Amino acid sequence: MRSCQFTVSEEEEGERLDRLLSSWLPDLSRTYLQKLLKEGDVHTQGRIEKASYKVREGDSVEVSVPDETPLDVKPQDIPLDILYEDDDVLVVNKPKGMVVHPAAGHADGTLVNAVLYHCKGNLSGINGVLRPGIVHRIDKDTTGSVIVCKNDAAHRSIAEQLRQHTIVRRYYAIVYGVIADDDLTIDRPIGRDSADRKKMAVTHAPNGKTAVTHVHVLERFGGFTYVECRLETGRTHQIRVHMASIGHPVLGDNVYAGGRSSPFSGLQGQCLHAGVLAFVHPKTGALIETSAPLPAYFEHLLEVLRSGRPVK
């Protein structure tokens, strides 16, 4: 059993306990946190409170995370494109089409299966038996950098950096339309879409969470723009939702592009790549920066757009 302790700040007073837990422990899923609350593993001022409890400044909240149970996800010898590795962390360049962790319909062939084999089981267990070592994730059809933690100390450090928004995350995308401004900031809260629980949306409803994306235009083409997106926060589908909200959805996005069909016949899923990651090493304190090269399909799309040739 591992214990985490937090003290409610003046700015956090009045927030629901379950929402604060999500912000304090972004590496744990909402479902898992709700389970901890129901099973009495969360104590506020020594008492068990409901998820809806409104916290007060100075409240001491202790979260007990049970030890992991034996893992039933099988290691698989799947090649990894390793950008950085030491005894504490691993940064991999995830290919298009690979799911980060096992879920319904994806029992194997995931990044977790691959790192279990590569790391021989030496992974943090904080995030449960289906997500060993996983402290953050990217979508199935998004390519690029993912941090994997090899022990619980590294996991806690990286999770705290994510919570404090100090990890640099730069994504690259091709979006529909021509963006006029060279630089813009999208500051719009994101939450579950009230009409479709499988989607996220810009929402000011109570479930909306602060979401900020900084966009820089790299190149403009006829009908498309190549952009760099720096995440200040890391909400589910944040870049895809934010770009769609300003009328420039990500090329190939089958969920948020409003039914726009891609002119590139071979493109599968959104044209989005997690390129640069920079974080403070959990043990040495050194700044680690990795850069994942653009995948071949992305480079090809840019070549076609730059050439002015007909899109195929």
Contact present, 229 and 214 (Cβ < 8 Å): yes
What Rg value do the Cα atoms of the chain yield, rounded? 20
Q: Of the listed 139, 152, 182, 253, which one is catalytic?
A: 139
DSSP codes, 164-219: TT-SEEEEEEEEES---SSEEEEE--EEEETTEEEEEEE--STT-B--EEEEEEEE
φ/ψ region of 236 (left if φ > 0, alpha if ψ in -120 to 50, else beta) reads beta
For 44, the token pair is: 């506020």
- H/E stretch holding 297: helix 296-307
d(CA 112, CA 92): 11
- Residue 125: count of CB within 10 angstroms of its CB: 20
For 39, the token pair is: 């099973």
Contact present, 100 and 132 (Cβ < 8 Å): no
83 - beta bridge partners?
none
List Cα–Cα distances, 210 to 67, 206, 217, in angstroms. 31, 11, 23
139 is catalytic: yes
Question: Residue 20: helix, strand or coil by DSSP?
Answer: helix
Catalytic residue numbers, as ranges: 139
